[in-house]
DNA sequence: CCCACATGTAAAGTTTACTTGACTTATTGT
DNA sequence: ACAATAAGTCAAGTAAACTTTACATGTGGG
């Protein structure tokens, strides 16, 4: 099972955002905590919809938080 | 996750890009033509990875091409 | 009139995002 | 010492993205 080609700075954004916990972020975007863990660890990439919601929480464009590996 | 709440301007970008066909776009981003059709028609939203590749083809940020319905 | 091409649609199958639930470890506070 | 919280992990299941194949329709050119 290949890892996804998408990397992200969710963890950094979480800490720079009032030290928000995984659970709090999960609640705000409407997924489970395990989903946030999996995304932060790169186990898989989020759907576009979830990427949008995460970006909204952090008030940043999607491309500030997520990137194609090898493009960063 | 809720329903597909993602809209897009892929068709417009395709025509503003040298009248690129669905097949040409599909080839450039590495999916089948049916996937492009489904996305243009809103049958489902692309993965984040595919959204990135489409945005790259058009030289635009993801958020110029895709949007959360109700946010446009 | 043909033929090639662009687009739409649909069924069935594979892959992957996401959930549910349960357990573990480390840290912090009472 | 104990409880509570944050984070990691694993397994099994569901839902959605994507593929493959195939057929249908309209359009433009020779």
Q: Check CB contact under 8 Å for A6 and B68.
A: no
Is B48 part of the contact surface with chain A (CB cutoff 8 Å)? yes
What is the tens place of the pLDDT at every residue in A26-67?
A: 999 999 999 999 999 999 999 999 999 999 999 999 999 999
Nucleotide closest to B4 measured between CA and C1': D16
Give the pLDDT confidence score for residue A2 in this predicted structure: 53
What is the interface size between A and B, counted as CB pairs within 8 Å?
53
Q: How far is CA B31 from CA A48, A57, B60, B64, in A?
A: 16, 30, 19, 21
Q: What's the CA–C1' distance between A2 and D5, in Å?
A: 33
Nucleotide closest to B41 measured between CA and C1': C8
A52 closest CA partner among A31, A72, A34: A31
Q: How far is CA A29 from CA A22, A54, B44, in A?
A: 11, 6, 19
Q: Tokens 């970006």 — which residue?
A: A55
State if pTM tops 0.85. Answer: yes
Nearest CA in chain B to A50: B1
CATH of the domain spanning B6-60:
1.10.260.40
Q: Give domain A6-68's CATH number out of 3.30.450.260, 1.20.1250.20, 1.10.3210.10, 1.10.260.40.
A: 1.10.260.40
A18 CA to chain B: closest CA distance, Å?
Answer: 26
The residues with which B7 forms a beta bridge, in sequence order, are: B67
Q: Residue ranges of the alpha helices (H) in A1-72?
A: 10-15, 22-29, 33-40, 48-58, 62-65
Task: Give the C-alpha separation, A60 to A25, whole Å.
Answer: 15
Report whether A21 contacts A33 (CB < 8 A): no
Give the pLDDT confidence score for residue B5 in this predicted structure: 83
Q: Which nucleotides of D are covered by protein (CB under 7 A)?
A: 5-11, 15-22
Report whether B22 contacts B14 (CB < 8 A): yes
Phi, psi of A66 (to 5 degrees): -115, 150
Reported as a pLDDT band with limits 50, 70 and 90, residue B1 is: very low
* pLDDT, greater one: B71 or A57: A57
């Amino acid at each position: 099972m290949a890892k996804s080609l998408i990397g992200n700075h969710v963890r950094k954004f979480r800490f720079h955002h009032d030290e928000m916990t995984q659970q709090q972020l999960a609640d705000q975007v409407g997924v489970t905590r395990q989903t946030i863990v999996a995304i932060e660890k790169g186990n898989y990439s989020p759907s576009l919809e979830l990427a949008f919601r995460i970006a909204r929480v952090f008030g940043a464009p999607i491309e500030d938080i997520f990137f194609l590996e090898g493009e960063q």
